[in-house]
């Protein structure tokens, strides 16, 4: 049973890893666009609304699609002052509660955001600014997509935090203590 849970958790990790690595490249694109905007503004006294909006379009996948990736690789803020002094069984219970809570919150945000995205898609929403970018619904679609990834990573965390309660390894207590892909 424990091996099956870990197998599923590693499969979920692979999805988060692949999407996170791909989305991280938008950071490079964001730097290039911002540098171009600065050069256009200060060297040529010109600018483009579309180029400024492109910064937001690149920031969205960078943040929303990389949340789960960041958690998987322990890039999140964690305070261990009290937690590290708790008995292991209590630590595992806290981790299980946290993982389930994040999973539930992610599912709620997905459910709430889908009608928001669908409304934007139905009306063909674009930028309200002249010269702005069209297809704003693509940008909004990153909200449920990012939280789907967070739900997958949280599910992997749940599967791992269940393992000690089922007689599995004690090292599976944190959300990212076992990385499937290094």
Distance, CA of 165 to chain centre: 27
For 60-69, 109-118, 140-149, which range has the lowest pLDDT when averaged over its residues?
60-69
**Non-local CB neighbours of 181 within 8 Å, separated by 6+ positions:** 13, 14, 17
- For residue 20, is pLDDT > 50? yes
- For residue 123, is pLDDT > 90? yes
The model's confidence at residue 96, banded by pLDDT at 50, 70 and 90, is very high
**CA–CA dist 131, 159 (Å, integer):** 48
Give pTM, 2 decimals: 0.81
For 9-18, 20-29, 138-147, 172-181, which range has the lowest pLDDT when averaged over its residues?
172-181
The model's confidence at residue 170, banded by pLDDT at 50, 70 and 90, is low
The model's confidence at residue 171, banded by pLDDT at 50, 70 and 90, is low
Name residue, tokens 């322990």: 74
**CA–CA dist 37, 16 (Å, integer):** 32
Predicted pLDDT of residue 4: 85
The model's confidence at residue 47, banded by pLDDT at 50, 70 and 90, is confident
- For residue 174, is pLDDT > 90? no
| Beta carbons within 10 angstroms of residue 23's beta carbon | 23
- Residue 9: name the closest of 154, 165, 169 by CA: 154
Mean pLDDT of 77-91: 81
């Amino acid at each position: 049973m424990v091996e099956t849970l870990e197998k599923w958790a590693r499969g979920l990790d692979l999805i988060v890893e692949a999407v996170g690595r791909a989305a991280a490249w938008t950071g490079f694109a964001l730097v290039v666009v911002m540098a171009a905007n600065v050069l256009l503004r200060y060297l040529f006294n010109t600018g483009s609304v579309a180029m400024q909006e492109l910064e937001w379009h690149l920031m969205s996948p960078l943040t929303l699609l990389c949340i789960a990736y960041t958690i998987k690789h322990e890039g999140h803020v964690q305070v261990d002052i009290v937690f590290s002094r708790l008995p292991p069984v209590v630590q595992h219970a806290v981790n299980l509660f946290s993982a389930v809570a994040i999973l539930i919150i992610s599912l709620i945000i997905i459910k709430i955001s889908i009608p928001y995205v669908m409304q934007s898609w139905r009306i063909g929403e674009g930028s309200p600014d002249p010269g702005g970018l069209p297809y704003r619904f693509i940008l909004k679609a990153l909200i449920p997509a990012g939280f789907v990834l967070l739900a997958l990573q949280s599910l992997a965390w749940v599967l791992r935090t269940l393992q000690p309660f089922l007689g599995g390894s004690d090292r599976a207590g944190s959300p990212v203590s076992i990385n499937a892909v290094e």
